[in-house]
Amino acid sequence: MTTITRFAPSPTGRLHVGNIRTALHNWMLARKAGGRFMLRIDDTDAERSREEYVDAIREDLAWLGLSPDGEERQSLRLAKYEAAFEALKAAGRVYPAYETAQELELKRKIQLGRGLPPIYDRGALKMTSEERSAKEAEGVLPHWRFKLDHDEPIGWEDGVRGAQKFDPAQLSDPVIRRADGSWLYMLPSAVDDLDMGVTDVLRGEDHVSNTAVQIQMFTALIAAQYAAAKMPSFAHEALLVGKEGKLSKRLGSLGCDAFRERDIEPEAVIALLARLGTSQPVEPIAERARLVDTFDLSTFGRAPAKFDDTELDRLNAAIVHQIDFAEVEGRLPDGMDEAGWHAVRPNLTHVTEAADWWRLVTGPVEQPDFSDEDRAFLALAVDALTWSDTPWQDLTASLKESTGRKGKDLFLPLRRALTGMDHGPDMKELLPLIGEDRSRDRLRAAASG
């Protein structure tokens, strides 16, 4: 059977780092199995869904290189949900309920006050047909609940959490449809998974209780309408927390737009999130194939996964140091060629910093004040400079022999005169880029003070 995974964001805001991690792991699960990764836009909430966020989701996935193999939109599948709803209603698995939000809240408070779990008491099932008719005569429209089978225990082997067991009598019958006819998450999601042939549902551990309910929903749908379908496997990964070990509101807003503003490479985001929360080391691996080959749900831990910006910056710098010129040519300053990129790359933490280092080549540079002794040394450097394939090596060798200087005393005044800085790219690579005329002019200016 072909492995099919799905990423199902709601277009009510931008993707955040937790969403991105879920999308990535579903993409990796599908790619490792040679399967298909689907994007499903969960846009049944017409009031909160925005087309601009649909576009942003697609753009973010494209930036990350997580191309879906197909896309579905729930807003175009309403007839599917209606048909499934009618099939479940005919099977006696959904029922109308008339309590208001205030009445339900009062029930919960009473149960909690008695030390009982706040589970829906199925009061709607105890209503007579006359009582239901009276409610509707008053203009009270029902919402609809899925009726759990209390005689059928719920269990599954979770891909991350292992064996899971739930007593359905300890769960509330979930509301699947509002009084205005709009859908909540549970039923459309189950219908889509069966209809799209999803084989593996990988999502956050905050969905564990949803899965317990949906397993009975899948069973009921297969019996009522989808006889040829199979229930997917489930895995629930630990949620992300901040480096301080607490759930962070910031993680809820940190997304691809923020990463782009910070000039973070998508490969760095992928390298971090691919293994965050697993027993495998987080490494600056830019090759997707390596990450996919080592992807394994059995390495996922139960403890919350800690997201650390410092680690992301470290990975980004290491990734930048691996990037070939051809991959960044269009992002580099005018005039910077492959030799220039190779020279400045080891000094970068972000690609955009290349422009700052390239100014050491194009100039002008602001030179520091030199001592009389160093100015005399730099005057000798003007005469000692000869141009060859190895101008820096030739210059320093000549000056070492003629002045006896070595180490810092030899190299630092030359670097300061030529670049205006105490540190930077390797001068063996930088000096040929600066060129003979500019190099001689800078040495002469430094010597003259």
pLDDT in tens, 322-348: 999 999 999 999 999 999 999 999 999
State yes or no: 230 annotated in a binding site.
Answer: no
Interval 155-171: pLDDT, tens: 999 999 999 999 999 99
pLDDT at residue 247 greater than cutoff 80: no
Give the C-alpha separation, 316 to 338, whole Å: 20
pTM: 0.92
Interval 45-96: pLDDT, tens: 999 999 999 999 999 999 999 999 999 999 999 999 999 999 999 999 999 9
Give the C-alpha separation, 433 to 340, whole Å: 7
pLDDT of residue 236: 98
Helix residue ranges, H only, 114-199? 129-137, 186-195
pLDDT at residue 32 greater than cutoff 80: yes
Contact predicate 213/174, CB 8 Å: yes
End-to-end CA distance of the chain: 77
Q: Give me the CATH code for the 363-448 domain, please.
A: 1.10.10.350
Give the C-alpha separation, 56 to 71, whole Å: 14
Instruction: Find all residues with CB under 8 Å of 226, minimum gap 6, and list them.
Output: 194, 195
Cα 17 off chain centre by: 4
Neighbours of 35 (CB within 10 A): 17
pLDDT of residue 201: 98
Give the C-alpha separation, 172 to 122, whole Å: 8
Provide the token pair at 175. 């509301």
Give the C-alpha separation, 138 to 106, whole Å: 21
Ramachandran quadrant class, 68 (left: phi over 0; alpha: psi -120 to 50; beta: rest): beta
pLDDT at residue 251 greater than cutoff 90: no
Contact predicate 417/371, CB 8 Å: no
pLDDT of residue 267: 98
Domain(s) labelled CATH 1.10.10.350 in the chain stretch across 363-448
Give the C-alpha separation, 5 to 181, whole Å: 29
Contact predicate 224/88, CB 8 Å: yes
